[in-house]
């Protein structure tokens, strides 16, 4: 059975779930990026169960979440100076760093790698829960593998009821996209997955930081095992639209109508097109990012067969992460 706990101000309601987490139970928790499916990083069986609950491929390593520096030092062999520097500026927050793993972190967590991804979330509920449990917590996104990530407790309830022991409801995630994954084990720091902290922000402190070649469009296998999988996809067919939205979508709408397919439009501002469903996703790219997964899920609930989503022109800040998720969700279909 899955127990749902709503948290507003009083963190003491988390005690029972924290104890359960420590004992090897699965607890879905809110973070500022997306909701996570938490398990004790020290409990082999619990970690294994998170892969099962999500249907996650075994070769996709998990991110370990810590509540303080002391806990970090349990998880990694040593803290490199680059990590010290970035921690000062970006933790707690949406930055995951890859370092050499400590012996106590099992290969089930890291999918056989000798490195481990670690993050300190800023969400007060996530921090309190990890601190109370006293153990580092593995937490992949709390969705069924392949479907859009979860940014609200309702999404987690829809995907994981009956598969986890607790779902903690802490409201909507502030960032709405996953963390930036930065590899600190190579010659230069490399971004393996764009996220809440941008390349520019990282370059302020570590100027050599780059995107890994696969992210720059070079035809190489991604370094991050998870980046090769189809991700975030709604049930509807998703097409991204670059440039003039109305001009590109209008003829497609005609076609869809003829074949009786229902069309949803996902745009920053409402477009004057005769589609079945419209979601005006937000004025800023931060709004777009925050609402993306929720909107993809809403389109499925509404019964859209095809979704046309605006691909922003910008590349700075959160745009890199937003476009990365959009492209993956659409399986590369761009008009
Ligand atoms: P998720 O928890 O679903 O947001 O995904 C975590 C991401 O971090 C995936 O893309 C993983 O492949 C990546 N990741 C986790 N640990 C490592 C690691 N040790 N080396 C490279 N990538 C990692
Ligand atoms: Mg995920």
User: Which of the listed residues 50, 192, 195 should we mutate to test ligand 1's pocket, taking the one with most ligand atoms within 8 A of CB?
Assistant: 192
Model pLDDT, residue 52:
95
Cis, bond preceding 92 (omega within 30 deg of 0): yes
Model pLDDT, residue 331:
87
| Chain-centroid distance, C-alpha 213 | 21
Model pLDDT, residue 226:
63
Q: Are 187 and 36 in contact (CB under 8 A)?
A: no
Q: pTM of this prediction?
A: 0.94
CA distances from 243 to 169, 238, 331 (A): 38, 16, 19
Q: What is the DSSP letter of 332?
A: T
Q: Whose CA is nearest to atom 15 of ligand 1?
A: 61
Query: What are the residues facing 237 on neighbouring strands?
Result: 306
CA distances from 129 to 18, 173, 181, 182, 321 (A): 6, 16, 23, 25, 27
Q: Whose CA is nearest to atom 11 of ligand 1?
A: 226
Model pLDDT for residues 254-307, shown as the tens digit of each residue: 999 899 999 999 999 888 898 999 999 988 999 999 999 999 999 999 999 999
C-alpha 38 to ligand 1 mean position (Å): 15
Mean pLDDT value across the chain: 94
User: Which of the listed residues 193, 228, 231, 329 should we mutate to test ligand 1's pocket, taking the one with most ligand atoms within 8 A of CB?
Assistant: 193
In this structure, the residues whose C-beta lies within 6 A of any atom of ligand 1 are 60-63, 98, 110, 113, 115-117, 140-141, 178, 181, 192-193, 224-227
Instruction: Per-residue pLDDT tens, the chain, 335 aa: give them.
Output: 899 999 998 999 999 999 999 999 999 999 999 999 999 999 999 999 999 999 988 889 999 999 999 999 999 999 999 999 999 999 999 999 999 999 999 999 999 999 999 999 999 999 999 999 999 999 999 999 888 999 999 999 999 999 999 999 999 999 999 999 999 999 999 999 999 999 999 999 999 999 998 887 666 666 766 666 667 888 899 999 999 999 999 999 999 989 999 999 999 988 889 899 999 998 899 999 999 999 999 999 999 999 999 999 998 889 999 999 999 889 889 99
Please, where are the H alpha helices in 9-106? 15-22, 44-54, 69-75, 81-90
Nearest ligand 1 atom to the CA of 179 is: 4
Model pLDDT, residue 316:
84
Model pLDDT, residue 59:
87
CA distances from 182 to 54, 109, 119, 193, 320 (A): 24, 17, 10, 7, 14
Model pLDDT for residues 242-257, shown as the tens digit of each residue: 999 999 999 999 999 8
C-alpha 235 to ligand 2 mean position (Å): 16
Among candidates 6, 53, 55, 58, which has minimal Cα distance to 29? Answer: 6
C-alpha 278 to ligand 2 mean position (Å): 26
Q: Whose CA is nearest to atom 9 of ligand 1?
A: 226
Nearest ligand 1 atom to the CA of 140 is: 2
Nearest ligand 1 atom to the CA of 192 is: 22
Among the bound ligands, name the one nearest to the CA of residue 62.
1
Burial class (CB in 10 A: 0-12, 13-18, 19+), 220: exposed
- Token duo for residue 215: 């992210």
Q: Are 306 and 256 in contact (CB under 8 A)?
A: yes
Nearest ligand 1 atom to the CA of 62 is: 15
Share of the chain above pLDDT 90, in %: 84
Q: Find the helix or strand (DSSP H, E) in which 154 lies.
A: helix 153-160
Which residues, chain by chain, have CB under 5 Å from ion ligand 2? 141
The length of the chain in residues reads 335
């Amino acid at each position: 059975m899955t127990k749902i706990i709503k948290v507003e101000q009083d963190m003491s309601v988390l005690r029972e779930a924290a104890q359960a987490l420590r004992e090897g139970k699965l607890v879905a928790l809110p973070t500022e990026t997306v909701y996570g499916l938490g398990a004790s990083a020290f409990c082999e069986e619990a970690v294994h169960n998170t892969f099962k609950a999500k249907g996650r491929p075994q070769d996709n390593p998990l991110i370990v979440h810590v509540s303080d520096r002391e806990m970090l030092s349990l998880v990694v062999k040593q803290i490199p100076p680059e990590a010290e520097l970035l921690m000062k500026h970006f933790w707690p927050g949406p930055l995951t760093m890859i370092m050499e793993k400590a012996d106590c972190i099992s290969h089930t967590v890291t999918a056989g790698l000798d490195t481990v991804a670690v993050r300190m979330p800023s969400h007060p509920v996530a921090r309190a829960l990890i601190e109370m449990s006293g153990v580092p917590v593995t937490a992949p996104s709390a969705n069924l593998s392949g479907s859009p990530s979860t940014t609200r407790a309702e999404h987690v309830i829809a995907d994981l009821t009956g598969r986890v022991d607790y779902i903690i409801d802490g409201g909507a995630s502030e960032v709405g996209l996953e963390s930036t994954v930065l590899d600190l084990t190579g010659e230069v720091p490399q971004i393996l997955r764009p996220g809440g902290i941008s390349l520019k922000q990282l370059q302020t402190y570590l100027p050599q930081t780059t995107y890994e070649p696969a992210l720059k469009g070079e035809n190489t296998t991604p370094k991050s095992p998870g980046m090769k999988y189809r991700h975030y996809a709604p049930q509807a067919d998703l097409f991204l639209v670059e440039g003039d939205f109305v001009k590109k979508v209008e003829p497609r709408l005609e076609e869809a109508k003829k074949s009786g397919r229902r069309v949803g439009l996902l745009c920053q501002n409402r477009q004057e097109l005769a589609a079945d469903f419209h979601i005006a996703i937000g004025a800023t790219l931060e709004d777009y990012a925050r609402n993306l997964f929720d909107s993809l899920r809403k389109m499925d609930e509404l019964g859209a067969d095809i979704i046309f989503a605006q691909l922003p022109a910008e590349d700075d800040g959160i745009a890199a992460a937003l476009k990365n998720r959009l492209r993956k969700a659409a399986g590369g279909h761009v008009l």
